[in-house]
Structure 1
Amino acid sequence: MSAPIAEGQGLVMEFGGPTLLAPRRRPVRAVAGVDIAIRSGEALGLVGESGSGKSTLGRLLLRLAQPTAGRVTFGGRDITALSRPAMRPLRRRMQMVFQDPFGSLNPRMGIGAAVAEGMALHGLARGREARERSAALLRRVGLPPGLYDRRPDALSGGQRQRVAIARALAVEPDFVVADEPVSALDVSVGAEILALLRELREERGLALLFVSHDLHAVRSLCDRVAVLYLGRVMEEGSAEGVLRAPAHPYTRALLSASPGRPGEARGPRIVLGGEIPSPANPPSGCVFRTRCPHALPACAETVPALREIQPGRLAACIRDDVLEAVP
């Protein structure tokens, strides 16, 4: 098995905390001790409710945010404490596709120039060559040549997302984080973007971290999946295995609430009580215990380790009887 292209070990990310004016203010812990690894050519789906820390974790792996604790490696190199100048050569190899492509594109720049911009910045191509390569990339993501000089506000949401993908690929990255890239699109357009990501990943051997709340999109695109809840990984394994027979009670609840495929047999809906707790004041022990239908008093005292329950399958729960229900 190849070494990971991107890896996080014991990643913690906190925001805020005590100040002179608020000495008792607790920090918001968005990511709480996560280990994660992605290999070249692999697609890892990151799922969970809003506020679970998915987007923050993606930004940490790209070093768009500095972890409070833990270690980030890229291509086997520790990049946790690299300065901005030292990170600059690595930026070409790691890119992000944002949920809102309009916010990541210059509204005063034509889309062709926006795609070519990164090539010039990283010394890959300039002038006519950059324009030709940009036009070819736009065609590859399904945009007609006539749109080259159009500005982002003249495009549909699906077209802008295609531009954002082309812009990320223009610098020939090894690792791409796609943060909810289809959540704002209608079903048919979203399906086209997923198909495009699948094709491009296979063509270019990209490592892809796909952040989404859409479990069916994750199943169709990803090799593996990690399930986050309140900044912690609850379950991890192959996408087919986890989404066919979820082990952790939280994964089961997520899947039961996801719309089924046509003709697919569905189990009873699992309704979780209450809201996801505040990351500024998480529950003791297992962070999921306040909503878990299988919680015991011991769950308030023990933080469950993420442990192997089957080959390649991990779950964080102290109750073997709950996890053993997985076929």
Structure 2
Amino acid sequence: MNAPLIEAVGLSKTFPGKGLFRKGRPVQAVKHIDASVARGEAVGVVGESGSGKSTLGRMMLGLMPATEGSVRFDGKLVNDASRAEWRRLRRRMQIVFQDPYGSLDPRRRVGDQIADGISIHGLLPSRKRERRVAELLNKVGLDPAHAQRFPHEFSGGQRQRIGIARALSTGPDFLVADEPVSALDVSIQAQVIQLLGELRRDLGLAMLFISHDLPVVANLCDRVIVMYLGRVMEEGTARSVFARPVHPYTRALLSATPMLDPARRARRILLQGDPPSPSNPPSGCVFRTRCAHARDACAEVVPELRPFGDAGTRVACIRAEEIA
């Protein structure tokens, strides 16, 4: 693999507890995560709601301060970057949000919003910004004349394309796509996913793609990170993780994926109970309370993410060899 463009080491995020009359337990949203994305690479992050996927993406972008750990971008440590340094970094790091309507200002024309990044970073003189906005709208499959419209005049899929155009306006090297199609109709999802794949290929974008949709991640991404309750359960190439999942949690996720071909359907693995609270995680392996393979040792040992097999997979399970 090429050298990482962005690399997170030991990232953790703890939110203070909330309570009406007394202070609640702190919430451990992310715990000791290592993640990296190389130039031109797409890394998928999957897991149930509340697993810490979006928190990880926002910490890597500097939108949320980490409680512990470090982030390097293009080889430089950015944890303690000054405001001026972050301003320069912002041009190279962008995000596409989950809600395409909530991320746009309903009172402003979309062309002006796309041009904001160009203006803030002084990338083009004012006389050339309109042409650049037209080029971006055309790149994401919209009519340049749409620049004069307001967000409410577009469909959900069109609004997400506008969000992508806005993210691309500064010519970023790294893009976080945070559930970019979950709020869209299924027929529109495929168009947006295809667009992201084409942009990644044409522009050489490094991408962290956060999603619940496992088939999309399998087709779009080079590598996959599987998260559960703030920790990484399994990591590896998309091909190896989806073809030969090792961790019981990864197997359960894949077994729930709908398949049209009956011959390819896996036996559904039903997880017992609800995910534990991140304010009171289980001891040892955080997945053990829902794992059919759990033993007494799983409550005593916090499994390290370690290499497994020869396909570049890493797994956090002390019984991986027994259950593989």
Aligned equivalent of 1:55: 54
- Cα distance, 1:125 vs structure 2: 1.3
- How is 1:57-136 mapped onto 2 (pairs within 5 angstroms)? 57-136=56-135
**Counterparts of 2:20 and 2:209, CA distance in 1:** 39
User: CA-atom RMSD, angstroms?
Assistant: 1.5
Give unpaired runs (5+ residues) of structure 1: none
Aligned equivalent of 2:16: 16
**Counterparts of 2:233 and 2:222, CA distance in 1:** 18
**TM-score (ref. length: structure 2):** 0.96
In 2 relative to 1, CA 102–322 (structure 1 residues): closer, same or farther, beyond 3 Å? farther
Deviation string, structure 1 residues 114-152 (Cα, Å, up to 9, x no partner)? 111111111111323111010111011011123111111
**Counterparts of 2:298 and 2:279, CA distance in 1:** 19
**Aligned partner of 1:10: which letter?**
G
Aligned equivalent of 1:151: 150
Which secondary structure does the structure 2 equivalent of 1:11 belong to?
strand
In 2 relative to 1, CA 261–62 (structure 1 residues): closer, same or farther, beyond 3 Å? farther
1:316 to 2:321 alignment: no
- Cα distance, 1:258 vs structure 2: 1.2
Aligned equivalent of 2:225: 226
**Aligned partner of 2:64: which letter?**
A
Aligned equivalent of 1:5: 5
In 2 relative to 1, CA 20–152 (structure 1 residues): closer, same or farther, beyond 3 Å? closer
**Counterparts of 1:263 and 1:163, CA distance in 2:** 38
- Cα distance, 1:22 vs structure 2: 3.0
In 2 relative to 1, CA 304–158 (structure 1 residues): closer, same or farther, beyond 3 Å? same
**Aligned partner of 1:285: which letter?**
G
- How is 1:171-320 mapped onto 2 (pairs within 5 angstroms)? 171-262=170-261, 265-311=264-310, 312-320=312-320
**Counterparts of 1:13 and 1:304, CA distance in 2:** 19
Give unpaired runs (5+ residues) of structure 2: none
- Cα distance, 1:15 vs structure 2: 0.5
Q: Is the 8 A contact 2:133 2:144 kept in 1?
A: no
**TM-score (ref. length: structure 1):** 0.95
**Aligned partner of 2:11: which letter?**
L
Q: How many residues align?
A: 323
- Cα distance, 1:264 vs structure 2: 5.2
In 2 relative to 1, CA 165–322 (structure 1 residues): closer, same or farther, beyond 3 Å? farther
**Counterparts of 2:121 and 2:206, CA distance in 1:** 20
Aligned equivalent of 1:163: 162
**Aligned partner of 1:116: which letter?**
A
